[in-house]
A and B are shown apart, each in its own frame.
Chain A
Amino acid sequence: MIGRRKKDQSAMKQDHRFITLERIFKNGFINFGRNIWLAIAAIAMMGITLTILLFAVVANATFSHTISEITSHIDVSVYLKDDVTEQQRNELIANLRKIDNVQAVGYTSKEQALKNYRSQNVDNKELLAAISETDNPLPASLVISPKDPNRLDTIKTYLDKPEVTALQSDPTSYSGDRKAAIDKIAQATEFFRKAGIVGIAVFIIISMLIIFNTIRMTIFNRRDEITIMRLLGATPGYIRGPFVVETMLYGVVAALLSLAVCWVLFAVASSTLQASSLGLLDITYSSDYFRKNLWLILTTQILAGIIIGAASSSIAARRYLRLK
């Protein structure tokens, strides 16, 4: 008998909790509808912020893409003397591969070099005539792709060892003016990469502040409501709940809205600016990136909207919820 009553009580408690949760959600949705103008204002603000942030993310991705395009072309060519044996060459390749910063080593034979030269200058008869198969002046070469173009020195040090220079017909491609140019490009790309990350971080912080402030204003507008509920004996959780649900809804709607805006803009941009690019920003890549990551972006936007909305409203409401 007692056992049964206990069971009934715990069932009732659970029931009570369920009713409370249900009412919190129901009131949140109702409030959203009844404060529609406040909602529209807040959603517009959040939507604009999320749109700018989304643009910043896509721009940053495009930028990184451009940067890696540039850096992927940075490599070091080593020109080998004609008398280097196959064994010496393989030993050199093996040693190069052991260096930490080496991504890959490619070999181009004299014959291959000639073929490449011919296909590159197929329209220029004079240049083609200057080089014949019997007297091939082009050296065989190794092409070293680095992992990090900022640390080419580690490769250079090895190549400059006397026993290694002895095998080389010419200085490596990474020397003199070319070295200076490559170093500058590597430095610049590194700088832009870091600037991009910092820029995104700053954008995220500013967006959160703007959204937080917007929500704080909507709650400030309704602080009397909170006070009344408090005086009637509503628990802080029960008062805050519907506000949190309401602002989570703002977040979802704002996220969808900003995604729709971006979708349309990218669709328009890629059709009108087809295959063109604006300096470092490759629009085609941007819109491809956007389309490929649509689901990821959608989920992130909605989650961000919900989380920022919920966090802001519960922080903002807390001020008016303090019990005296």
Chain B
Amino acid sequence: MILLDRVTKTYNQKEQALERVSLHVEPKEFVIIVGQSGAGKSTLFKLLTREEKPTSGKIIVGGMDYDKLRDKDIPLLRRKIGVVFQDFKLLPAKTAYENVAFALEIAGLPTVEIKHTVPKVLEVVGLRDKADNYPRELSGGEKQRVAIARAIVRQPKILIADEPTGNLDIKHAWDVIKVLEKVNKFGTTVLLTTHNQEIVNYLKRRVITIKDGKIISDKAVGQYKL
């Protein structure tokens, strides 16, 4: 599903963010990536969403070889991957409903289908009654759940969540993690980065630890250690 082969990313010709990282993630897996700030987690995610190009190495996601991607294929790639960010990245001038609907609009889905799908997805994240609220009227946890709804509404095979609980208090963090577990249960591959030891130990999933741009451990049922 996700394959990285000796991927290196260097910024400004000397600052090495990732060094020969090789990684293989199976379909429907739930993988947690841990590492301190600056370890290279965010770079890894930016490579997967094609915000950045690797300096060297090969990336294949869902059968798409990134070396062969043309500029105009990038939007299509991004529609196939659901992404959740630490800072939510909701569109401020759109309601919760419209934020989720936007993901389907850009894919050109008929309006009837959008009207049918969006409320259901909002139901999944428990925000049916907040559909008409703007992001500024939602709490951090609610915003993140809208972002997750937006990421999963297109039923992507892969969901990438970059520190989704980073800006949330513990109660809301758990809400978000529960939603991610639910999404994974429906068959979506989930890639999650987090700092939160409690969450990692609770989930009992595969844990990959990154330090200084290198993978230093990869355990099938991992514990948080650094």
Count the B residues whose beta carbon is within 8 Å of the partner chain — how many?
29
Closest-by-CB residue of A relative to B89 is A228
The verdict on A20 contacting chain B, using a C-beta distance below 8 Å, is yes
The verdict on B66 contacting chain A, using a C-beta distance below 8 Å, is no
Contacts A20-B108, A324-B52 given: A233-B76 contact, CB under 8 Å?
yes
**Secondary structure type dominating chain A contacts:** helix
Say yes or no: B76 contacts A324, CB within 8 Å: no
Docked complex Cα distance between A229 and B150 (Å): 12
Docked complex Cα distance between A323 and B69 (Å): 12
Q: Which of B43-60 contact A (CB under 8 A)?
A: 49-53
Say yes or no: B110 contacts A235, CB within 8 Å: no
The verdict on A238 contacting chain B, using a C-beta distance below 8 Å, is yes
Closest-by-CB residue of A relative to B109 is A19
The verdict on B196 contacting chain A, using a C-beta distance below 8 Å, is no
* B43: min CB distance to chain A, Å: 13
The verdict on B91 contacting chain A, using a C-beta distance below 8 Å, is yes
Docked complex Cα distance between A232 and B108 (Å): 13
The residues of A that contact B105 with a CB separation of less than 8 Å are 23
Docked complex Cα distance between A35 and B92 (Å): 11
Indicate with 1 or 0, residue by residue over A211-247, a CB within 8 angstroms of chain B CB atoms.
0000000000000110111111111001000000000
The residues of A that contact B90 with a CB separation of less than 8 Å are 228
The verdict on B38 contacting chain A, using a C-beta distance below 8 Å, is no
Say yes or no: A233 contacts B77, CB within 8 Å: yes
Say yes or no: B78 contacts A232, CB within 8 Å: yes
Docked complex Cα distance between A203 and B150 (Å): 47
The residues of A that contact B52 with a CB separation of less than 8 Å are 324
Task: Please list the 5 inter-chain residue pairs (A to B) with the smallest Cβ-Cβ separation, ordered nearest first.
Answer: A233-B78, A233-B79, A234-B106, A233-B75, A34-B93
Can you identify 5 A-B contacts, CB atoms within 8 angstroms?
A: A34-B93, A35-B93, A228-B90, A232-B79, A233-B107
Q: Which residues of A contact B (CB under 8 A)?
A: 16, 19-20, 23, 31, 34-35, 224-225, 227-235, 238, 323-324
